[in-house]
Amino acid sequence: MSTTVAPAVREETPFRRFVSEFAASKLALVGLVGFTIIALLAILAPWITPQNPYDLAQLDIMDGRLPPGSPSMAGYTYLLGTDDQGRDMFSGMLYGLRISLMVGVGSALFAAVVGSSLGLLAAYVGGRTDTIVMRIVDLQLSFPSILVALMILAALGKGVMNVVFALVMVEWAYYARTVRATAMVERRREYIEAAECLALPYRRIMFYHLLPNCLPPLIVIATQQVARAIALEATLSFLGLGVPITEPSLGLLIANGYQYMLSGKYWISFYPGIALLLTIVSINLVGDQLRDVLNPRLKR
């Protein structure tokens, strides 16, 4: 049983080393701080924003398309202006951020579960299961993500759940491929042989022994995929295939502002775009550094 105990004992030092190596890049720290602030703003949106942008009763159509800094009928200031519905852009943005993050992180997590399970299974069982799973992965990865998402949304129709489903379908293959590749290497190691000699159940070996050792690349992929998922959700929503108009995500807010941009009312599209951009860039900065730190090939 020493194989299961060993990681727990050694956990302290590798984790500290990981933290110090991660902190070596100032850019990555900026990304981490940025993302934390963004996530906090999104989570705390109901307590920060002056207005609930989804409550139609609080919206005043008379306040529509006001430039940033205009006073509202209710007394507060529209820091970033209002959209055509009279929605405070600042409030709308933070709520939109909530939806974007929820969809992005949720689909990435779900895809991680599905993808890594299938990847583990393919690597551990091998044979025909491996061939079938990996063929599907190859086939899917040969098509661009937007096309796969379009196909699914074309078949299922619009809607948040359908978007999440489409994102999971787009992303799972990346996890499966990564986890399988790592697991193929790990499963030949002695500790797996030892576990097999102990005649532990397959499930236990796969999830307790194999999976923890596949985590580093999985974390890297997951970070990148969250950013991709957020961008793709925004794109789909922009195209009008995503979330409903009553609860706009960042992408839909940008789409709403599109028609007014030509008349110089830039703020409706501009600020949600900046929020989207900052979110994606900060996640990518963290992801890049994670990749450098966790990639065993770059080490030593």
Partner 1 sequence: MLTWIVRRLFQAFFVVVAMTVIVFVGVHVIGNPVDILISPEADQAERARIIAEMGLDQPLWKQYFFFVNDVLHGNMGRSFVFNEPALKLIGSRMPATLELAVTAVLFSICFGVPLGLYAGLKPDSVAGRAIMAGSILGFSLPSFWVGLMLIMTFAVHLGVLPSTGRGETAAMFGIQWSFLTWDGLRHMFMPALNLSLFNISLVLRLTRAGVRETLPMDYIKFARAKGLTPRRVILVHVLKNIMIPVVTVVGLELGSTIAFAVVTESVFAWPGMGKLIIDSINVLDRPVIVAYLMMIVLLFITINLVVDIIYTILDPRVRLETKA
Judged by CB under 8 A, the residue of 113, 277, 295, 296 near partner 1 is 277
Please, what is the minimum distance in Å from the beta carbon of residue 89 to partner 1? 15
Nearer Cβ to partner 1 (185/277): 277
Give 8: exposed, middle or buried? Use CB within 10 Å, 0-12, 13-18, 19+.
exposed
Quick check: 154 binds partner 1 (CB under 8 A)? yes
Please, what is the minimum distance in Å from the beta carbon of residue 123 to partner 1? 23
Query: Around Cβ 232, how many Cβ atoms within 10 Å?
Result: 25
Judged by CB under 8 A, the residue of 262, 297, 298, 299 near partner 1 is 262
Please, what is the minimum distance in Å from the beta carbon of residue 107 to partner 1? 16
Quick check: 227 binds partner 1 (CB under 8 A)? yes
Nearer Cβ to partner 1 (15/258): 258
Judged by CB under 8 A, the residue of 185, 198, 258, 295 near partner 1 is 258
Quick check: 167 binds partner 1 (CB under 8 A)? no
Judged by CB under 8 A, the residue of 19, 24, 40, 156 near partner 1 is 156
Quick check: 281 binds partner 1 (CB under 8 A)? yes
Distances (CA, A) of 293 to 190, 196, 213: 25, 31, 15
Judged by CB under 8 A, the residue of 30, 109, 114, 261 near partner 1 is 261
Which tokens belong to 156? Answer: 């299922």
Quick check: 212 binds partner 1 (CB under 8 A)? no
Nearer Cβ to partner 1 (88/233): 233
Give, as ranges, the residues between 73 and 132 that touch partner 1 (CB under 8 A).
none
Nearer Cβ to partner 1 (214/285): 285
Judged by CB under 8 A, the residue of 116, 182, 256, 284 near partner 1 is 284
Judged by CB under 8 A, the residue of 39, 114, 151, 194 near partner 1 is 151
Contacts with partner 1, residue ranges (CB under 8 A): 139, 142-144, 146-147, 150-151, 153-158, 227, 231, 234-235, 238-241, 251, 254, 258, 261-262, 264, 266, 269-270, 273, 276-277, 280-281, 284, 288
